[in-house]
A and B are shown apart, each in its own frame.
Chain A
């Protein structure tokens, strides 16, 4: 029974949460705090804070941890499965259909038409990350990190892994 509840609690945010994992956080909160009362709002906030301090997608971390709390390891598996599987299966089916006709001029045009919109979506995210950084650390630190990482990534083609690790060290030392 608990596994069914865990499944439903994460299945619903997974299929109605548009805009990636972060957008589904309030929906997860609604299920686990308001409906099933597994966590208080404070505990939920704490889990969210720790989730944000760790790398990787946020929705699955929440599902994995809350599932684990409620139903052990199997609970963690059920929670993440419910978060990931429904939308992923839909995605694979849709893209497989699209790629069956990938050489048709119409499908090529469809791909081209949406590209500026994707650029805008990415551009908006870019802005949000910059703005978030400005709010966290002010414009001096933000500008410094932006310029350095732009040089490393764009000009010197350093692999993002090294830039990220470098930034983590910088943050641990200078932004703490």
Chain B
């Protein structure tokens, strides 16, 4: 039963995720956090952070890791295959049979209409992460980190992996303040 759920969750992610791996992030979040409750928002954030720190496609890294968490190595295989196989088959069939597919107007229209919708889903997720950060770290600290990240990532063009690794090291080496420990009781 679990395997059926894993398959169904990532199959949906695979066939609804237009625009490559990153557009599937909000869909994975919807299935894994909201629907099947395999992990909470914090854990999902960790998966996303580590996933962004490591090279390679993001959608399969998320699928594989979540599959592993839920059902071990068989879960990995199930989740990854469910994410990628349907679209690979579609790709092979289309390219072998009809190479003008991507020139069809209605196909381009579909691809185009999905872009702003993915934008909205990513925007909602952004907001959720920001609110969560504010709750745990307080306004000042989270706005500071947000502006800092924005500055280093976008203006100076630092790679996200570098920022994430530096933050992890700083968090590891500094000692927690009292105020943060009271927040953690609710978990």
- Residues on the B chain within 8 Å of A80, using CB: 84, 88
Is A90 close to B, CB under 8 A? yes
Q: Assess A116 versus B58: contact at CB under 8 Å? Given A56-B84, A91-B51, A176-B106.
A: no
Per the 8 Å Cβ criterion, residues 156-187 of B in contact with A are 159-161, 163-164, 167-168, 170-172, 174, 176, 180-181, 184
B92 CB contact (under 8 Å) in A53, A64, A168: A64
- Size of interface on B: residues with Cβ below 8 Å to A: 101
Contact string against B for A residues 106-124, beta-carbon threshold 8 Å, 1 for contact and 0 otherwise? 1011111111111111111
Q: Whole-angstrom distance from the CB of B130 to the nearest CB of chain A?
A: 4
Q: Assess A61 versus B163: contact at CB under 8 Å? Given A46-B102, A83-B57.
A: no
- Assess the B18–A164 pair: CB atoms within 8 A: yes
In the complex, what distance in Å separates the CA atom of A121 from the CA atom of B161? 11
Is A1 close to B, CB under 8 A? no
Q: Whole-angstrom distance from the CB of A123 to the nearest CB of chain B?
A: 4
Number of interchain pairs (Cβ within 8 Å): 341
In the complex, what distance in Å separates the CA atom of A175 from the CA atom of B116? 13
Per the 8 Å Cβ criterion, residues 37-88 of A in contact with B are 46-47, 49-61, 64-65, 68, 76, 80, 83-84, 86-88
- Assess the B168–A110 pair: CB atoms within 8 A: yes
Is A26 close to B, CB under 8 A? no
- Assess the B49–A59 pair: CB atoms within 8 A: no
- Residues on the A chain within 8 Å of B90, using CB: 54
- Assess the A154–B124 pair: CB atoms within 8 A: yes
Q: Assess A14 versus B55: contact at CB under 8 Å? Given A54-B90, A153-B121.
A: yes
Of all A-B residue pairs in the complex, the 5 with the closest CB atoms, nearest first, are A171-B113, A56-B87, A87-B56, A129-B119, A64-B88
Contact residues of B with A, CB < 8 Å?
12, 14-27, 30, 42, 45-52, 54-61, 64-65, 68, 76, 80, 83-84, 86-88, 90-92, 94-95, 99, 101-102, 105-126, 129-130, 132-133, 136-137, 142, 145-146, 149-150, 153-154, 159-161, 163-164, 167-168, 170-172, 174, 176, 180-181, 184
Q: Other than the known A118-B49, A123-B130, what 11 A-B pairs have Cβ atoms closer than 8 Å?
A: A18-B55, A20-B21, A21-B22, A54-B94, A87-B57, A88-B65, A98-B46, A98-B50, A116-B133, A123-B122, A133-B115
Q: Would you mind naming 28 contact pairs between A and B with Cβ atoms under 8 Å apart?
A: A19-B52, A22-B22, A46-B99, A52-B19, A54-B90, A59-B57, A60-B84, A76-B88, A80-B84, A80-B88, A87-B56, A87-B61, A88-B65, A95-B46, A95-B65, A110-B168, A117-B145, A117-B149, A123-B123, A130-B116, A132-B115, A136-B115, A145-B116, A164-B114, A167-B110, A168-B110, A171-B112, A173-B106
